[in-house]
Chain A
Amino acid sequence: MNRPQSLTELYVAFTRLALQGFGGVLAVAQRELVERLEWMSKEEFVETLAIAQVLPGPNVVNLSLMVGDRFFGTRGAMAALAGMLSLPAVIVLLLAMVYGELRNYPVAADALRGMGAVAAGLVLATGIKLLPALYKSPLGRWQALGFALAAFVLIGLLRWPLITVLAILGGGGMALAWWRLK
């Protein structure tokens, strides 16, 4: 695994990552941190994201804090966070200023629809790509895949609230992992 050499490198990496993330940053985070920069393995990425997910706050922002902190402590966490938010904030506020003009063009809505479809495909592909991270799970490969499938059904199809699914499947998964690991 590689690591960033400086706070600037960390800031630039997260700015670059955030600016590529239309409709969500998750897919880009996986591509950049795991595949291009090789700062984390597939397993480390999913494990960090799992913890980022249960803490309050946006998962990718928590992920940036955790990655920055791992390499450079508090300063690293702040550099990664600043990278994630500063330039994108400027862009989104500029967009908010010109939005009144843009919304009168139907072509803008058509372009947004195309971009939205691609964003959905990117997230789906990221999930498929990360599935092998479960193969080494202490739960057992098929049990872990079963839990993932159940989570997809409860949240994606039945629209249960996250907190309920966390309590049931998270709790169940943790109990099984505890039993297997002890």
Chain B
Amino acid sequence: MSGSHDLGLYLGLFLHFLVLSPMSIGGAITTVPEMHRYLVEQTGWLSETEFTTSIALAQAAPGPNILFVAVLGWNVAGLLGAVVAMGGIMLPSTLLTLTATRWARANREHLALRAFSAGLMPLTLGLIIATGWLLALPFLRTSDHRWGTLALIAVTVLLTLKTRLGLVWMVLGGGVLGALGFV
């Protein structure tokens, strides 16, 4: 590959994620269809399988799910690809968040702002529970493992509510139970 071609690739990758960042309300996962259109259909930089496994891999790894963008960038263009993709997706949303946070802190007693956050708090809680539900759903749909995983989910909820057991031990325990064929 020639140098100018590389530059175009990195720039294209960076700009693509830069533009998606301000649109990613509800997390970058909401812009996945658009990433798919660009990286798989339009440019052909990634195959269908590479795209899907990039996302699955990042979700299985520790850390925020946003890191799937780093894996996408990595699969397109190696380490520098991962860096420019993450830079693009993080830069606008970070600046926006910091600006909004400071403005909110300076005006915290303002009626509109108090109404804004009080009005959104119930929605946030509904959303958390919906997320848990949607994460559980694929396991409940497959008949092979339905009861085992359902029991594991229920035990996890109980342990989290009633004990101070480290969360990472529960996750690793789930992995061991899965590997041994119990769930």
Name A's B-contacting residues (CB within 8 A). Answer: 18-28, 31, 35, 46-47, 49-62, 65-66, 69-70, 74, 77, 81, 84-85, 87-89, 91-93, 95-96, 99, 103, 107, 110-131, 133-134, 137-139, 144-152, 155-157, 162-163, 165-166, 169-178, 181-182
Contacts and interface: CB of A to CB of B under 8 A. Distances in A.
Contacts of A124: 129, 132-133, 136, 153, 157
A117 B111 contact: no
B43 interface: no
Interface of B: 21-28, 30, 53-54, 57-67, 70-71, 74-75, 79, 82, 86, 90, 92-94, 96-98, 100-102, 104-105, 111-112, 114-136, 138-139, 145, 149, 152-157, 160-161, 164, 166-168, 170-179, 181-183
Given A22-B61, A122-B156, A96 B27 contact: no
Given A93-B71, A123-B128, A124-B136, A85 B183 contact: no
Main SS class of interface, A: helix
Contact of B64 (A85, A171, A177): A85
18 contacts: A20-B167, A24-B59, A46-B125, A49-B124, A58-B66, A69-B101, A77-B98, A84-B63, A92-B67, A93-B71, A115-B175, A119-B174, A121-B155, A122-B171, A133-B121, A148-B126, A156-B133, A178-B111
Contacts of A176: 119
Contacts, number: 368
A120 B149 CA distance: 10
A56 B62 contact: no
B49 to A, nearest CB: 10
A114 B176 contact: yes
A107 B175 CA distance: 10
B135 A123 contact: yes
A130 B25 contact: no
A116 to B, nearest CB: 7
